[in-house]
């Protein structure tokens, strides 16, 4: 892609953003929910200040979306998709406030929509609101850097809402402190009340969740922070993490961002701007690198860091346009938008058509087939006059509940703490015959035999998508409990 003047870059960025939005709005109602989206949708039907896995913003986010757009897949994802329309402009605005160059701002916005992870932006998961609030906090900090003390209000509010979205926002708090240390013009704020008031404001926003957790034995903290300490040494996850992130960022953007973060001896204001961006993401990057030495880092976890990376890459690419010999990696970044947008288009085409077929290794096979599978389970339950369906795992429980008719209770047999947001079923429910549903050949039948005197496998049901069997589930007839059926957490 040849260098473009700032006005043309802005038009291209706006066009790419609107094209991406149109594709997403067309697609979000045609793709079934992931199991996490179904689980969070069930949260949204019983709003609380906290849940076992995460703080409550995603539940409120989905509740608002379904109230506005209905309970379908489109309704679950629509608000999320529409809110992300503003993200390219926000990223571009931050870039402009940092570097004062309209071509850097327009390029940053274009690079944001050229990151392949943008394809997943409509998914209704906690990473979506976290990324929005992280970016808003960054915008507030940039205003503070430019001398506007009111930026601390945005920092405090956005940080608090980020914490209410996902615990990853803790690293943003650490990054803000690091930015104050690393950026000379921000150091004086250590001796003024504003940042401390912002921290108190963030804590006030976060406090209802803290109260909820205190009342529930700090279950979310125990679950999330339980993964922090290393459990052995498994460095094989590190290349997986690095490779997946380079791909999700866009290899050309990743290379340009590295150049932008390590530029030798830039001018003072430019140097401070780069330091601020790098400092805000450094604690999270350090944690993910350490975590990858003993466990898998999911590809979506670093999503909130991508706006800063897009801005750093935009600065480096813009410099390379002026002086192409400065950095070949940055100069090659001009091809990042067509590469990234083409990759996103291919992902969406594959989602819509299933072509080309990629076999069992296709990550898209984790989505789909549950609507028809649930209809089959519901039909079997009616034929059996079942009083309930016991499901193995929260994924199956959530999807069977979301796609089910609603008249039949679907109950997870294990991990009952996941369902603290709703009233537990009475053990009297299991006095009548029912059905149980779990992955075939998983040992689920043996677990059932401990709890029921009569357990009989009555069917093997495949989950199908595009005419292909993806996995097989076993359906059991169960009756006559031996004692309490549900696990007590």
- The whole-number pLDDT of residue 121 equals 86
Q: What is the DSSP string of 216-247?
A: TTTHHHHHHHTTSS--S--TTHHHHHHHHHHH
Cα–Cα distance, 472 to 347 (Å, whole number): 26
Average pLDDT (31-38) is: 94
Q: Would you say residue 489 has pLDDT above 70?
A: no
Mean pLDDT over each residue of the chain, to the nearest integer: 90
H helices present in 100-250, as ranges: 102-113, 127-145, 151-163, 169-182, 194-215, 219-225, 237-249
Q: Is 82 exposed, middle or buried (0-12, 13-18, 19+ CB in 10 A)?
A: middle
Lowest mean pLDDT among 48-62, 230-244, 245-259: 230-244
Contact indicator for 120, 302 with CB cutoff of 8 Å: no
Contact between 42 and 402 (Cβ < 8 Å): yes
pLDDT of the residue at 265: 62
Quick one: angle between helices 35-44 and 57-69, nearest 10?
80
Give the pLDDT band of residue 266 (cuts 50, 70, 90): low
What band does 417 get if pLDDT is binned at 50, 70 and 90? confident
pLDDT: which is higher, 270 or 124: 124
Matching residue, tokens 């990042």: 336
Q: What is the rounded average pLDDT of the residues 350-363? A: 71
Residue 310 contacts residue 115 (beta carbons within 8 Å): yes
Share of the chain above pLDDT 70, in %: 93
Measure Cα distances from 348 to 143, 270, 284 in Å: 37, 38, 29
Return the DSSP state at 168: T
pLDDT digits (tens, 9 = 90+) for 80-138: 999 999 999 999 999 999 999 899 999 999 999 999 988 888 899 999 999 999 999 99
Q: pLDDT band for position 434 (50/70/90)?
A: very high
Reported confidence tier of residue 348, pLDDT bands at 50, 70, 90: confident
What confidence tens digit (pLDDT) does each residue in 193-237 have?
999 999 999 999 999 999 999 999 999 998 888 776 667 778 889
Task: Tell me which of 475 and 358 has the higher pLDDT.
Answer: 475
User: Is the pLDDT at 325 greater than 60, yes or no?
Assistant: no
Please give the full DSSP string across 276-345, using - where no structure is assigned: HHHHHHHHHHHHHHHHTTTSPPPTTTTGGGHHHHHHHHHHHHHHHHHSTTS-HHHHHGGGHHHHHHHHHH
* Residue 2 predicted with pLDDT over 70: no
In the prediction, which pLDDT does 223 show?
A: 85
pLDDT at 48 over 60: yes
Q: How confident is the model at residue 324 (pLDDT cuts 50, 70, 90)?
A: low
User: Looking at residue 124, what DSSP letter applies?
Assistant: -
Which H/E stretch holds residue 458? Answer: strand 452-465
> In the prediction, which pLDDT does 243 show?
94
Res 351 pLDDT > 90:
no
Q: What would the two tokens of residue 200 be?
A: 């108190």
What pLDDT, on a 0 to 100 scale, did the predictor assign at position 322? 66
| Assigned token pair, 294 | 């003993």
Residue 316's alpha-carbon distances to 4, 7, 233, 242, in angstroms, are: 15, 19, 36, 21
Instruction: Give residue 162's Cα distance to chain centre.
Output: 12
Domain ranges of the chain: 6-353, 370-481
Q: Is it the case that residue 354 has pLDDT exceeding 80?
A: no
pLDDT in tens, 136-188: 999 999 999 999 999 999 999 999 999 999 999 999 999 999 999 999 999 99
How many whole angstroms separate alpha carbon 95 and alpha carbon 459? 58
Residue 225: per-residue pLDDT? 82
pLDDT confidence of residue 13: 87
Contacts with 439 (C-beta within 8 Å, 6 or more apart), sequence order: 392, 393, 396, 471, 472, 473, 474
Is pLDDT above 90 for 41?
yes
**Structure confidence at residue 392 as a pLDDT band (50, 70, 90):** very high
Tokens of 172: 């943003």
Residues 6 or more apart whose CB falls under 8 angstroms from that of 404 comprise: 374, 377, 378, 410
Residue 355 — very low, low, confident or very high, per pLDDT cuts 50/70/90?
A: confident
pLDDT at 323: 62
């Amino acid at each position: 892609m040849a260098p473009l003047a700032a006005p043309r870059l802005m038009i291209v960025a706006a066009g790419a953003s609107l094209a991406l939005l149109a594709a997403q709005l067309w697609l979000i109602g045609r793709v079934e929910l992931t199991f996490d989206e179904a689980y969070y949708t069930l949260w949204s039907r019983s709003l609380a200040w906290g849940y076992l896995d995460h703080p409550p913003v995603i539940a409120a986010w989905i509740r608002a979306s379904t109230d506005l757009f209905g309970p379908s897949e489109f309704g679950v994802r629509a608000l999320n998709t529409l809110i992300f329309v503003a993200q390219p402009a926000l990223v571009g605005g931050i870039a402009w406030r940092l570097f004062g160059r309209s071509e850097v701002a327009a390029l940053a916005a274009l690079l944001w929509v050229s990151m392949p992870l943008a394809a997943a932006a409509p998914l209704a998961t906690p990473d979506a609101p976290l990324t929005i609030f992280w970016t808003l906090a960054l915008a507030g900090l940039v205003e503070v850097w430019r001398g506007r003390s009111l930026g601390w209000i945005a920092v405090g509010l956005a940080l608090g809402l980020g914490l209410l979205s996902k615990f990853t926002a803790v690293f943003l708090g650490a990054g803000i402190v690091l930015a104050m240390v690393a950026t000379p013009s921000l150091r004086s704020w250590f001796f003024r009340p504003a940042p401390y008031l912002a921290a108190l404001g963030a804590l006030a926003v976060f406090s209802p969740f803290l109260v909820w957790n205190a009342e529930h034995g700090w279950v979310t903290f125990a679950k999330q922070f339980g993964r922090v300490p290393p459990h052995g040494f498994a460095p094989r996850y590190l290349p997986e993490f690095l490779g997946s992130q380079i791909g999700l960022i866009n290899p050309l953007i990743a290379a340009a961002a590295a150049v932008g973060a390590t530029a030798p001896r830039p001018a003072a204001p430019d140097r401070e701007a780069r330091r601020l961006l790098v400092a805000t993401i450094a604690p999270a990057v350090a944690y993910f690198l350490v975590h990858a030495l003993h466990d898998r880092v999911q590809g979506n976890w670093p999503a909130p860091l991508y706006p800063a990376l897009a801005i750093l890459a935009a600065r480096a690419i813009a410099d390379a346009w002026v002086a192409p010999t400065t950095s070949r990696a940055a100069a090659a970044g001009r091809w990042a938008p067509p590469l990234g947008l083409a990759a996103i288009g291919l992902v969406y085409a594959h989602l819509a058509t299933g072509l080309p077929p990629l076999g069992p290794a296709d990550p898209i096979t984790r989505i789909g087939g549950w609507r028809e599978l649930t209809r089959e389970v519901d039909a079997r339950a009616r034929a059996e006059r079942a009083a309930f369906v016991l499901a193995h795992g929260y994924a199956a429980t959530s999807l069977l509940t979301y796609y089910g008719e609603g008249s039949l209770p679907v109950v997870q047999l294990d991990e009952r703490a996941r369902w603290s947001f709703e009233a537990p079923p009475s053990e009297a429910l299991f006095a009548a015959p029912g059905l149980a549903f779990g992955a075939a050949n998983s040992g689920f039948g043996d677990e059932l035999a401990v709890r029921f005197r009569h357990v009989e496998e009555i069917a093997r049901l495949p989950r199908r998508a595009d005419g292909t069997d993806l996995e097989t589930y076993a359906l059991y007839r169960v009756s006559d409990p031996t004692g309490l059926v549900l696990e007590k957490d």
